[in-house]
Amino acid sequence: APEQPGAPAAIAGQRGGCGAAGGRMTDTRRRVKVYTLNEDRQWDDRGTGHVSSCYVERLKGMSLLVRAESDGSLLLESKINPNTAYQKQQDTLIVWSEAENYDLALSFQEKAGCDEIWEKICQVQGKDPSVDITQDLVDESEEERFDDMSSPGLELPSCELSRLEEIAELVASSLPSPLRREKLALALENEGYIKKLLEIFHVCEDLENIEGLHHLYEIIKGIFLLNRTALFEVMFSEECIMDVIGCLEYDPSLSQSRKHREFLTKTAKFKEVIPISDPELKQKIHQTYRVQYIQDMVLPTPSVFEENMLSTLHSFIFFNKVEIVGMLQEDEKFLTDLFAQLTDEATDEEKRQELVNFLKEFCAFSQTLQPQNRDAFFKTLSNMGILPALEVILGMDDAQVRSAATDIFSYLVEYNPSMVREFVMQEAQQNDDDILLINLIIEHMICDTDPELGGAVLLMGLLRTLVDPENMLATANKTEKTEFLGFFYKHCMHVLTAPLLANTTEDKPSKDDFQTAQLLALILELLTFCVEHHTYHIKNYIINKDILRRVLVLMASKHAFLALC
């Protein structure tokens, strides 16, 4: 199964089509997003529309059609081939390969719609709709196929210490065959087998039975590679997850066991910067942290063969994050307290550091959201006053806090530069130039102490986005470009050019060390961008401030890169 990092969020609104259920305008069952897998194995969203199945004369067969919701154009026309392997994942996703290296996915808004289309596909292929995959992906030997036809299910050995080796061999031998994996997963689910294995794990640890623990490592690792949400839900439940991590400590290829549980219980501290009252949310946060830890630290780096087998694990984490962001976003008291404490002068430095780090992580989680949900997320933060809060924090002395605040600011600029510009222009009416948000950003850029100027390069990129007319809005009564550039040249440009003017009073640069040269090169890069995009604003500025003569002084720098700039 291909990975699905950006598997779709909920969507609403519908209209019928050929074969659509009843063709009612309000029917959301057939509403889908169409995804294709690109060269980087990432899913690209091809649009939202409504799926139907009907006979297409040209293709000589039953086909899946998706018409775009926006204009009714055809997003997908795909004949249901009798021998293509279609896969159903997570109740609302159907995935298949249309041709060599061309994978498609339909993500349904509702499970019911997914089930209907799945039945149609199974009907064409003569399969029972209870399967999750309609064809074996691997050509199996005749003998194995004969076995599979004769054996209805997979018999698991009874779950006992003496049979661990046999169980481990069974799991390992099932992984290469999709059909056997399917049967193994169902058998594990139906018999509550994972909990029985974890009981044996406790016995092995008590007896210090290292051989048994090595078998359990192989078994649990194999179960991960079955890629089944239903099994993950058992393994990642509150009562099982620490034992599952325990089994994964005993990797037979290492001479000593790893201390993952000790790290998670003693070293990793869950910090509630603001108390979370909802127990379900708290549990979800713990679970996500631990599952992410399993993915990043505990499971060995997957081979190419295994990479696709862990796609459901990626999805599990992905959807958990979406849920956490949603639950926190709806908790108004939580967010109000967070912003109040962030900006309160009485908050001590360590506490403020934690609050800012939380907000940064919260924004990072939001990157998993679909565009419309991300809109709502940033609107919420904006209404809560995130920009004035960042301004307060950027004006503080603590460098770590400022650095985290800069990261949060970069999320906001990338997401919606207009929102940032509007805030800056409004505050200019009440405040002096030197405490304006953009000027604080420029000052941090100028004062970056890192010899490589890593922070300054990031900030320069943000400034460029803010002064880029390409992403500015024009409405009937006003244009953002005229307003914002007028503001920027009046209130901010002098801060940006100050180091340049200070260093070019003579006929050669007064300071010519590497770091100064790097900073001036960055400033010239941004000024060049202004020359290319700002027409008369920059022209007037260059003439009035005699900028050209000053810039040419830098031709005498010993640093070739600066002379070239």
Closest CA to 288 of 372, 196, 362, 228: 362
**Given this model, what pLDDT does residue 137 score?**
54
**Given this model, what pLDDT does residue 41 score?**
66
Q: In whole angstroms, what is the distance from residue 443 CA to residue 441 CA?
A: 5
Q: In whole angstroms, what is the distance from residue 360 CA to residue 312 CA?
A: 26
Q: In whole angstroms, what is the distance from residue 294 CA to residue 290 CA?
A: 6
> Helix, strand or coil for residue 265?
helix
Containing 61, the helix (H) or strand (E) segment is: strand 61-68
| Cβ neighbours of 393 (radius 10 Å) | 23
**Given this model, what pLDDT does residue 10 score?**
36
**Given this model, what pLDDT does residue 237 score?**
92
Is residue 180 classed exposed, middle or buried when 0-12, 13-18 and 19+ CB atoms within 10 A define those classes? buried
Contact residues for 467 (Cβ-Cβ < 8 A; gap 6+):
484, 485, 488, 526, 529, 530, 533, 534
Buried b (16+ CB within 10 A) or exposed e, 111-121: eebbbbbbebb
Using 70 as the pLDDT threshold, list the residues of the chain that sit under it. 1-27, 40-42, 99-101, 136-153, 300-309, 433-434, 475-478
| Residue 362 identity (one-letter amino acid) | F
**Given this model, what pLDDT does residue 1 score?**
40
CA torsion, points 275, 281, 283, 288, in degrees to nearest 10? Answer: -110
**Given this model, what pLDDT does residue 326 score?**
83
**Given this model, what pLDDT does residue 306 score?**
59
**Given this model, what pLDDT does residue 2 score?**
42
Q: What sign does the dihedral 424-425-429-435 (CA atoms) show?
A: positive
Q: In whole angstroms, what is the distance from residue 546 CA to residue 391 CA?
A: 32
Contact residues for 161 (Cβ-Cβ < 8 A; gap 6+):
200, 203, 204, 209, 212
